[in-house]
Amino acid sequence: MSKKDKIDPRQHSRLVVDGLAQAPSRAMLRAVGFTDEDFSKPQIGIASTWSMVTPCNMHINELADRTAAGADTAGGKSVIFNTITVSDGISMGTAGMRYSLISREVIADSIEAVVAAEGFDGLVTIGGCDKNMPGCVMAMARLDRPSIFVYGGTIQPGPKHRDVVSVFEAVGGVTAGQMSLEELREVETTAIPGPGSCAGMYTANSMASAIEAMGLSLANSSAQEAISGEKKSDCEKAGIAVMNLVKRGIKPSNILTKESFENAITMVIALGGSTNAVLHLLAVAHDAQITLTLDDFTRIGSRVPVLADLRPSGQYMMSELIRIGGIQPLMKTLLDAGLLHGDCLTVTGETLATNLKSVAPYVEGQDIVRDLDNPIKPDSHLAILYGNLAPEGAVAKISGKEGSHFRGSARVFHSEETALESILDGRVGPGDVVVIRYEGPKGGPGMREMLSPTGAIIGRGLGDKVALITDGRFSGGSHGFVVGHVSPEAATGGPIAIVEEGDMITIDAKTKTIDVELSSEEINKRLLNWKPEPPYTTRGLLSKYARLVSSASLGAVTDIN
């Protein structure tokens, strides 16, 4: 933007409240607390994802109030509004999980609708669960008005270092005879002690870190506990900071660049983050009109190591990373090593390098984040695989602990439920490759997460003995030899649709391949005889989503022509 350009901090709200014809608008707003003075102030929408649906979001009403107070103090007029959330942890393993990824689009659409309709000049979004976080950022990118994202914060660990994944894995432990029902109940009643997002480097903490690295959050917004003074202060500062962006005319399009997305990918890899980050970053890039592909994850992953020993494959939780300084010292390390783009603009109005200039290194003796010369894994744990099973790509999460190569016999299931039943009953054993299909974006519909099956596999002690592949996706809490996002999906006639019981499947994280050991002639013959499954439903949101949604390899977005 040229210095000569005059910035109008009320360019949107004045269309709604100024002038004779807008008297009815002002009358309506007076009823919700506007005064005469408020009509001359920039209006700041505060998108709150508060609900009592899940502990991830149960505290966000207070955070929204704090954010609004910050914006008002800085000369704005805040307006709080709500959007929905869907709990993955509660709906996991049920038909309700079909709505989880769909909720990302509903959230983005609803924020876009309110902000555009009401004429807000700036926006602060506050998210605390896996899908409302990318949904918030997708809306920010679409609207392109001065915006900041605030993370609701991580939950504190339960007793004995437990979290929600401990409960899923305990279920598998019970069926394997390694845990009693009384012990399961003790885990169940203590694992989740209060508000905040799931405790490991699962999807919420992965996305919070990625969003901060992209420049859309204030420093350490991703690394604060939900119930903390730091998080309350973060909200107040965000309200003040968005007014600075409004006055300076700094929008997401000034912040979101190819380089800022590369910074986000780098952080997800260094932290050992969730496969869902791949899906969500592709979707955010689509809304920001930035070209980002699966191959960018491979390119960046070849030079970025995994440094943080965090759950699910590691030992530590986000609250423990917070106590040694959060992600800022890691960002400084990566910047100094030339692995981050320091010239990217951020919501502070300064570059990433400027923000990190005075950040101190981690304390001596900590073993949560390793040095660059002693990585947990020298390259990315997120492997983008191609082959005759996934011509458009698949996303594997392979930490290295389970090895880098797996060859086994296919056990084929047309739903998550049937696969889980066989795993819990002991009908899946060492050397099997569990194939769960018709769970993709269209076929599910909704691309359900497979935490219940992967948790059961780990709980039964089969984490390094069984592989699982799916056109669905995985929870950030999943670990083991798992491959998701197989594209094209079964519902559209992808090769995963014609795998038969007993077919040999090879997965190789080093060569980045995933293949069924069949000739191309046999694959084509089976595809010619393949018939699609009937749709899950022909009515309502699920049906609408199935008709609109793109391939997972494109981010599973719903507005591609």
| Residues with active-site annotation | 475
Measured CA to CA in angstroms, residue 133 lies from 140, 172, 212, 470 at distances of 11, 30, 12, 24
Instruction: Give residue 327's Cα distance to chain centre.
Output: 17
How far apart CA 179 and CA 187 sit, in angstroms, is 11
CB 292 within 8 A of CB 285: yes
Q: How big is the chain, counted in residues?
A: 561
* Residue found under tokens 């696969």: 419
CB 257 within 8 A of CB 386: no
CB 296 within 8 A of CB 263: no
CB 504 within 8 A of CB 407: yes
CB 211 within 8 A of CB 137: yes
- Sheet of 147-151: strand order equals 77-82, 43-48, 122-127, 147-151
Based on the number of CB atoms within 10 Å of its own CB, is 421 exposed (0-12), middle (13-18) or buried (19 or more)?
Answer: middle
Q: Which residues pair with 306 in a beta bridge?
A: 377
CB 316 within 8 A of CB 323: no
